[in-house]
Structure 1
Amino acid sequence: MSTTPATPAASGAAVVPPLFQGLFDDAAVFPPGNLPVADAVPAHLAHRAAPYADAVGPLLCGAGRLGELAAAADAATGSAGGTAVAAAAGGTAADGTGPRLRVGLVLPGGSSELGPALTAAAPFVVAGVELATRDAGEAVAALDLLLPPDVPAAVELPRELLRGDGLEEVLDVLVDSPYRAKFRTGGVVAGAFPDEAELAGFLTGCAQRGLPYKCTAGLHHAVRHTDPATGFEHHGFLNVLLAAAETDPKTAAEILAERSGTVLAEAVRSLTDRQVTVIRNSFTAFGTCSIAEPLDDLAALGLLSPDLTSQEDR
């Protein structure tokens, strides 16, 4: 069973608390952000060279945009000062020729995309694979066959297949594998957002099995809230963090329903080092189209130094 992927190396003296290290995968090119790849790459490199770099995971990219990503990475790292910034952003080429971008491959087309995507991702450091499927067993078999052993992966099934006994069956398949689960916590329509009970069922099912997972979409802010523009109910990433270690669905749902940032921040401050480790071994990361928003929320709640989130670093 895999645990939390290695967090990025710090690029400066500022300290990001362990609870938030490597938590925010950069999903800038995905909805609703939809940042052009040519803009997302230099923005990501800047994040990875900023004082808050330890909070930032890899740049997420769909299989069909890897060629575009390679061109943007070449342009960004070839610019004046770009190589120094890129060196803070990832690993180096095997031949020592220079820095490479850390990328998470998002494969919505399933296992058929895995082999070609890994080939196309040769210019990058593949920091993870997120594979969508309707058959967890088939996805595990494909990952076992094709994925390098040092690359973590997460398997996502449609939410309609994770209701009732379907959830138990999928989690049981994944718990016997080296791979994480992935759960969709939002989107661009109201129906993409699970309610507290549905999300609590997933979180506690994983906690009961010691199965790590990542989330994606909808977790733009720290605290549960209703978006004033859309009316969508958004889960807060602090709510999810605090519910991650719970094995009782009712308790987890109550935590997910909490709307007071003061209450959640105080609960975070009361966590022991052991509790933080348990939480992050469960909830490993989530994709966010904005790196700034969650950091600003944490600073406003007094959970992150404002010095880490100064505008000049973004």
Structure 2
Amino acid sequence: MSTAPVPAAASPVPPLFQGLFDDAAVFPPGNLPVADAVPAHRAHRTAWYADAVGPLLCGAGRLDELAAAAQGPVLRVGLVLPGGSAELGPALAAAAPFEVAGVELATRDAREAVAALDLLLPPDVPAAVELPRELLRGDGLDEVLDVLVDSPYRAKFRTGGVVAGAFPDERELAGFLTGCAQRGLPYKCTAGLHNAVRHTDPVTGFEHHGFLNVLLAAQETDPAAAAEVLAERSGEVLAKAVRTLSDRQVTVVRNSFTAFGTCSIAEPLDDLAALGLLSSDPTPQEDR
């Protein structure tokens, strides 16, 4: 006698946030030692919020250190290559003990980076190409995005850092987001986005973009409209806008904005819980 298949349990993480948070714990400003980052990442991957967590990001120069610390089940790793295409071949070889979930290649020449990725990257491994922000101003942005849109690779944009100048203002970020949206080009972001809502850091004075702002701006093709969304500082306003997104809009947003690197997994989750967009304890009362 045949029986109906048992449906899979729904994830406690809404689709808008699934796979959004790449684990950049070993990068500044977190700077968690690799030996501590590995067990912490494994704990994230078995927690109730695991569906929100992407791979553990690791720089090319620390792969030997990571291999020594990553005994046990195969680790999903995203390779971050700040040294450009010259690091690609050696890093892929050094990453043999891991499941390579992606490559993030920094470069000053998008065409050269695409050619290197075409030559060396396994076809099932995704990649993102990052250029310095100074090369993305004016006509430079269109030139780079046009190169990438004709390739299988995402763009990558730096949204923060450890100095004030590393944070683009809303107009600059809006130009990147809408340039990608107009071309149907997916992208990831990195740095400075671990809080949900745009704010001024009370300690550093740095202007931080919020990842909810970026998610909502990802569906805009008009730079002025995107900049307005990026400038919004009310968590209540942003949360209300998130709740009104249709399934189709969620798909459009996440096909565009695929992930961002965060040195803290807890902070974005806590922010979402505080805004009522994610349960901080999804366990039913009777199961506690």
- TM interval, short-chain normalised: over 0.9
Unaligned residue ranges in structure 1 (runs of 5+):
1-10, 78-98, 310-314
Contact 2:102 2:127 in 1 (8 A): yes
Please give the root-mean-square deviation of Cα atoms over the aligned residues, in Å. Answer: 1.2
What is the distance in 1 between the residues matched to 2:141 and 2:207? 23
Gaps of 5+ in 2: 1-7, 284-288
Give the counterpart of 1:214 among 188, 193, 199. Answer: 188
Q: Is the 8 A contact 2:34 2:69 kept in 1?
A: yes
Alignment partner, residue 286 of structure 2: none
1:185 alignment partner, one of 153, 159, 162: 159
From 260, 270, 278, give the equivalent of 1:296. Answer: 270
* 1:307 maps to 2:285: no
**Which aligned runs of 4 or more in structure 1 are off by greater than 6 angstroms?**
none
Alpha-carbon distance between aligned partners in 2 of 1:235 and 1:14, rounded to the nearest angstrom: 27
Paired amino acid for 1:247: T
Q: Are 2:56 and 1:59 aligned? A: yes
Q: Which residues of 2 match residues 107-122 of structure 1 at below 5 A?
A: 107-122=81-96
* 2:212 corresponds to 1:266: no
Equivalent residue number for residue 254 of structure 1: 228
Matched-pair contact (CA < 8 Å) for 2:11–2:51: no
* Contact 2:159–2:168 (8 Å) recurs in 1: yes
In 1: Cα distance, 2:11 partner to 2:148 partner? 37
Give the % identical residues. Answer: 89
- SS of the aligned residue for 2:100 comes to strand
| Displacement of 1:35 | 0.2
Counterparts in 2 of 1:48 and 1:193: CA distance versus 1, 3 Å: same
1:1-314 → structure 2 map (5 Å cutoff): 14-74=11-71, 77=72, 99-308=73-282
The residue identity in structure 1 corresponding to 2:167 is: F
How far off is 1:306 after superposition? Answer: 1.5
SS of the residue aligned with 1:279? helix
Deviations for 1:71-91, whole angstroms, at most 9, x for unmatched residues? 1101xx3xxxxxxxxxxxxxx
CA distance in 1, matches of 2:282, 2:157: 29
1:182 is paired with a residue whose SS is strand
Count residues in correspondence.
276
Q: Offset at 1:245?
A: 1.0
1:84 aligned partner = none
Give me the whole-angstrom Cα distance separating, in 2, the residues matched to 1:52 and 1:207: 29
> Normalising by the residue count of structure 2, what TM-score does the alignment of the two structures yield?
0.94
Per mean C-alpha deviation after superposition, the further-off stretch among 14-23 and 177-186 is: 14-23
Q: Contact conserved, 1:32 with 1:188, CA < 8 A, in 2?
A: yes
- Partner in structure 2 of residue 5 of structure 1: none
* Structure 1 residue identity aligned to 2:247: D
Q: Deviations over 1:219-270 (max 9, x none)?
A: 0200000000000000000000000010000000000000000000000000
Paired residues of 1:21 and 1:55 also in contact (CA < 8 A):
yes
Aligned-partner residue type, residue 56 of structure 2: L
Q: Is the 8 A contact 2:199 2:233 kept in 1?
A: yes
SS at match of 1:306: coil
CA 1:141 to 1:50, structure 2 compared with 1: closer, same or farther past 3 Å?
same
> Match of 1:63, as an amino acid?
A
Q: Which amino acid aligns with 2:270?
A: D
Residues 55, 78 of structure 2: 8 Å contact kept:
yes
Aligned residue identity for 1:17: P
Is this contact kept in 2: 1:227–1:233, CA < 8 A? yes
Paired letter, 2:20: L
Per-residue CA distance 1:156-200 (angstroms, 9 max, x = gap): 000000000000000000000000000000000000000000000
Q: 1:307 aligns to what SS in structure 2? A: coil
Q: Is the 8 A contact 1:52 1:308 kept in 2?
A: no
Task: Supply the distance in 2 between the matched residues of 1:164 and 1:39 (Cα, whole angstroms).
Answer: 42
Structure 1: how far apart are the matches of 2:10 and 2:256?
Answer: 27
Query: d(CA) in 1 for partners of 2:10 and 2:117?
Result: 38
1:12–1:51: 8 Å Cα contact kept in structure 2? no
TM norm structure 1? 0.87
